[in-house]
Amino acid sequence: MTDDIRDTVDGVIGALADPTRRHLLDLLATHGEVTATTLAEQVPVSRQAIVKHLAVLEAAGLATSRKSGREVLYAVRPDALNATARWMTALATEWDRRLAAVKRIAEAAERDSR
Amino acid sequence: MTDDIRDTVDGVIGALADPTRRHLLDLLATHGEVTATTLAEQVPVSRQAIVKHLAVLEAAGLATSRKSGREVLYAVRPDALNATARWMTALATEWDRRLAAVKRIAEAAERDSR
DNA sequence: TTCATGTGCAACTCAAGGATTGCACATCGG
DNA sequence: CCGATGTGCAATCCTTGAGTTGCACATGAA
């Protein structure tokens, strides 16, 4: 159940951890559907490296691939990113909540000590 | 300016990419202030490894350290996480926007072809 | 002071993954 | 059919980073 989310988050964060992959996502987002070969012309790495990155992005749910004739078109895919963003927001909120609780307790203790 | 955000995001995502570090953050969030030695008792890795992880987390702005006598207490720090969550939400929204635009254009072309 | 406990620094091991290269296979255009 | 272009697969190199170990230093408690 919630393990799905954990897996999603795990994959997305792992995929986003690499700068080259983030760059590729930017290119995909701006250019729409593109092939790995096209991307290779705009990035200082080999086509093969890009194919691997795209595979990681696709496995993480951040990209989709579609075959059109002899070429493969890749595009961005927002769902997993959205889910991860929500997860992160919830986590940050949780941290805020806990820290606020700790602070309240500390202030209460401070008050008692006087 | 916005490079600050990029650096923050870069650090946070890089820090969150490691499962052990995410686990440490969970422990910090639940236990409040703890020492590296205490954390080492609850995680199957050495204290030194944990110290390194905590250093990464602190560099990423996800944790703070405070010296109390001879021990060092670590705690969670929500700001950078919040900023990254907002960045990610904005990015996802941007993707949605672009995909919606592409879809509109495709539908218009479809309509014209009939 | 003396012992125990907690940190810090440094060198080292080792596996993971980013990147390249070479070649074989598929597909489109002439 | 045939050359050109785009993909896929596999072996390899090499850097990065997670983890360990050993030891020196600092601080608290007896």
DSSP secondary structure string, A27-58?
HHHHH-SEEHHHHHHHSSS-HHHHHHHHHHHH
For residue B114, is pLDDT > 60? no
In whole angstroms, what is the distance from residue A4 CA to residue B38 CA? 31
Taking residues A33-42, what's their average pLDDT? 97
Q: Extract long-range pairs of B68-71: CB within 8 Å, 24+ residues apart.
A: B71/B35, B71/B37
pLDDT for the residue numbered B103: 87
For residue A3, is pLDDT > 80? no
A95 chain-B contacts, CB cut-off 8 A: 29, 76-78, 81
* Strand C–CB A37 distance below 7 A: no
In whole angstroms, what is the distance from residue A13 CA to residue B95 CA? 17
For residue A110, is pLDDT > 90? no
Name which of A23, A25, A24 is nearest B94 in CA terms.
Answer: A25
CA angle A21, A26, A31 (to 5 degrees): 125
Q: pLDDT band for B113, please (50, 70, 90 cuts).
A: low
The DSSP 8-state label assigned to residue A67 in this structure reads E
For residue A7, is pLDDT > 80? yes
Strand partners, B75: B64
Residues whose C-beta lies under 7 Å from strand D: A 35-37, 47-48, 51, 70-72; B 17-18, 20, 44-49, 52-53, 56, 69-70
For residue A100, is pLDDT > 80? yes
In whole angstroms, what is the distance from residue B3 CA to residue B87 CA? 12
Q: What is the 3-state secondary structure (H, E, C) of chain B?
A: CHHHHHHHHHHHHHHHCCHHHHHHHHHHHHHCCEEHHHHHHCCCCCHHHHHHHHHHHHHCCCEEEEEECCEEEEEECHHHHHHHHHHHHHHHHHHHHHHHHHHHHHHHHHHHHC
Cα separations (Å) of B11 from B37, B83, B105?
24, 12, 37
Domains of chain A from N-terminus onward: 2-113 (1.10.10.10)
Taking residues A84-89, what's their average pLDDT? 98
In whole angstroms, what is the distance from residue A40 CA to residue A74 CA? 13
- Do A78 and B89 lie within an 8 Å CB cutoff? no
Look up residue A40 and give its amino acid. A
Residues A24 and A53: beta-carbon distance below 8 Å: yes
- Do A82 and B76 lie within an 8 Å CB cutoff? no
- Do A88 and B92 lie within an 8 Å CB cutoff? no
Q: Lowest-confidence range among A12-16, A95-99, A108-112, B29-33?
A: A108-112
Q: Straight-line distance from CA B18 to C1' C24, in Å? A: 38
The tens digit of pLDDT for each residue in B27-73 reads: 999 999 999 999 999 999 999 999 999 999 999 999 999 999 999 99
